[in-house]
Amino acid sequence: MPENPLTVAHVTHEAIEKVGGIGTVLEGLITSPVYRARVKRSILVSPLFDRQPHGDAMRRLGHRATECLYSGPDALDPKGFGAILKPIEWAFGTPIVYGTARLHAEVDHGRDGEAEVLLVDVSNPEARRLAEFKLLLQEKFGIDSRLYEYSWDFEEYCRLAAPAYYALCALIPREAEPAALISHEYMGMCTALLAAAEPPERRRFRAYFHAHECSTARRIVEHHPGHDLAFYPAMRRATALGKRVSDVFGDQSGYARHALVSRAWALTATLAVGDETANEMRFLSHEFDNARVELCYNGVPASPLTMEEKKASRARVDRWARAAFGFTPDYLFTHVARPVISKGFWRDLLVCARMARPLADRGKRALYIMLTCGAEPRSADAANAMAREYGWPADHREGYPDISGPEGPLWDTVQVFNNPGRPGAGAITAAIVNQFGFSRERLGDAAPPDLSLADLRRAADVEFGQSIYEPFGIAQLEALHAGAISVPTSICGCVGFLRLALRDAGMAESDSRCAIIADYTKDVPGDPLMLTQRERDEHEERVAQTIATEILRRLPNDDRDREAMLKEGQSLALRMGWDRVCEDFFLPMISKG
């Protein structure tokens, strides 16, 4: 007998648009045929961000919207949902927009899926009912909301909880219960805690925390001068002694996100996207000692790819490289990520510096592309104007539409690396392409008309991802299916899944040409919490030399090598796709009581 179909409510800030990793996860899950076969309804829940009085309900639902079923702000009720949604709006002072959307997989082409979208305007909630909910958080879970009301991170999603919860109760018939309610990161925790607070006999949802990261650990890693070199060795030692985060790094209760995610023990289970994330969650408090914290890896693109398709993509990227940088690279190194400290961009350049002279000795030349964006994407007209004026993206100028915000320090490091006086200079050219996307629309007329981000993924020889904090790291493995060498750090969550795929394929890590795991947290000198800047730099330089040696050993020499690596990459990626994630991890976990 087939299992009963599931109803799954996903509480997230990316209900109407994919902004980052959570949106990529939702896209991967909902477009998987395995997920669609078991999940009858997916409901994406979020605050309403578009509150302007323009009267366009479909616009509020975003570019993926297919139908508006109800819009309180626009007095639109074509299907009669006002009968169940208006009372909730009146009770909580929160106008509601409800509709449907169609999600498409950007990289795994040909996949799509349907979802409902529930948006709640939390700008002016009914004060008494909000206070009642905050009292519940205090009495049931020890969360004093008064400490965090200054933080919109907390307040926005606290206001969302009750109207979203009761709207879901109204939209989901009792025969579909218990449905699964998933808090994607801290954003849905208030809603999930409200669901968990119900007495067992009246409980309408199994509530889960989907730990795309551990906010407490991220903040410590990013702000501690030793970064991952300090945090992970210290966490491992402390855990072995039965200590928890406050014992080692001090009281964290003043941080709103910590207050929320540290209560995930009260839910049905925590789904951790990586091994270290699971460890970080358990490290938060002793309440997690008896809580379910289970691994639920993310999927990676696993589209079939032929050698002919790979070569065609490389030809398009090479054409752009010649126009933008004046040469055709023998090797293409990439790092696609947001311009934040956790991505460890400086480590890429440490590795590249140690590969430059050996590549020059081989008569080879490489292009390292840092594809990142710290401001609004630039228009094609702006890209063309910058290219004409001073050769963007090979050269840059401070100030929008060019270098802005966090892009500045990255451009500084690129200029230092490209200094012609450096040993091996010219063998590797480093470039920052400060755009999201990789198309003519983003790069201007230097790009072929049919160029896409998928081409960059297929063309890359190496994809760096040497993060200091990376709960999973989908981007690190997006080029794996095309046979690129993927270089994540050992603390990246994707490493556990990668090792599982290698074992399934009967391969040792040392035998793989496509996977190099950079371990910066091993053999850290002395007390990791007392690490000096000099000690950290020296340690990173030693690891960088090891990684450079491994990359040089594995780089393809010809098309025969690239074809062999494509075969390996395809084999590994197919073992790490979203279908397997749904089959082996996600669906079994949310089906448990």
Give the residue among 158, 155, 270, 285 at the shortest CA–CA distance from 217.
Answer: 285
The DSSP secondary structure of 414-426, one letter per residue, reads HHHHT-TTSTTTT
Cβ atoms 194, 92 nearer than 8 A: no
Residue 453: closest CA among 462, 465, 440: 440
- Cis-peptide into 488, omega within 30 deg: no
Tokens of 489: 């750090």
Q: 470: closest CA among 208, 189, 280, 230?
A: 280
Between CA 491 and CA 485 the distance in angstroms is 18
Which pair of structure tokens corresponds to residue 112? 């799509």
Query: By the 8 A CB rule, do 88 and 55 touch?
Result: no
**Is the Cα torsion angle 286, 290, 295, 296 positive or negative in sign?**
negative
String of b and e for 348-357 (b: at least 16 CB within 10 Å)? bbbbbbbbbe
| Gap between the Cα atoms of 564 and 585, Å rounded | 30
pTM: 0.94
With a CB cutoff of 8 Å and minimum separation 6, the contacts of 345 are 335, 337, 339, 370, 372, 410, 413
What gap in Å lies between CA 456 and CA 461, rounded to an integer?
10
Q: Which two tokens stand for residue 87?
A: 């009372």
Rounded Cα distance, 559 and 557, in Å: 7
**Rounded CA separation 343/273 (Å):** 17
Q: What pLDDT was estimated at residue 1?
A: 32
Residue ranges and CATH numbers for the domains of the chain are: 6-299+581-590 (3.40.50.2000), 307-576 (3.40.50.2000)
Are the beta carbons of 267 and 207 closer than 8 angstroms?
yes
**Closest-CA residue to 210 (of 298, 299, 102):** 298
DSSP state of 115: E
Query: In this predicted structure, what is the pLDDT of residue 316?
Result: 98
DSSP assignment string, 373-412: -SSSPPPHHHHHHHHHHH-TTTS--BSTTSB-TTHHHHHH
Residue 470 DSSP code: -
Gap between the Cα atoms of 122 and 48, Å rounded: 7
DSSP state of 300: -
Quote the tokens at residue 274.
Answer: 């990586």
- DSSP letter, residue 518: B
Q: Report the pLDDT value the prediction gives residue 413, as an integer from 0 to 100.
A: 96
Cis peptide before 423 (omega within 30 of 0): no
DSSP per-residue codes, 180-218: EEEEEGGGGHHHHHHHHHS-GGG--EEEEEEES--HHHH
Radius of gyration of the chain from its Cα atoms, rounded to whole angstroms = 25
DSSP β-ladder status, 205-211 and 331-336 = unpaired
Specify the pLDDT at position 330.
98
Pairing of strands 65-71, 96-104: antiparallel
Whole-number Å distance between alpha carbons of 336 and 348: 12
Mean pLDDT by 10 residues, the chain (593 residues): 80 89 93 95 97 93 96 96 98 98 78 96 97 97 95 96 98 86 97 96 94 98 95 97 97 96 98 98 97 96 92 98 98 96 97 96 97 94 97 97 97 95 88 94 96 96 97 93 97 96 93 96 92 92 98 96 97 95 96 78
Rounded Cα distance between 372 and 361, Å, is 31
Q: Would you say 264 and 281 are in contact if contact means Cβ atoms under 8 Å apart?
A: yes
Which pLDDT value is given to residue 235?
A: 97
Whole-number Å distance between alpha carbons of 471 and 22:
12
Question: 563: exposed, middle or buried (C-beta count within 10 Å: 0-12, 13-18, 19+)?
Answer: middle
**CB contact at 8 A, 471 and 298:** no
Q: Give the pairing type, strands 6-11 and 179-184.
A: parallel
Tokens of 30: 């909902």
Residue 403 contacts residue 374 (beta carbons within 8 Å): no
In 3D space, the residue among 110, 113, 115 whose CA is nearest the CA of residue 98 turns out to be 115
Nearest to 125 by CA among 167, 156, 97, 99: 156
The DSSP code sequence of 33-101 is HHHHHHEEEEEEEEE-----S---HHHHT-TTEEEEEEETTTTB-TTSTHHHHHHHHHHHT--EEEEEE
Q: Which of 224, 253, 263, 105 minimizes the C-alpha distance to 528? A: 224
> For 93, left (φ over 0), alpha (ψ -120 to 50), or beta?
left
pLDDT value for 107? 63
Shortest CA distance to 120 belongs to which of 144, 95, 103? 95
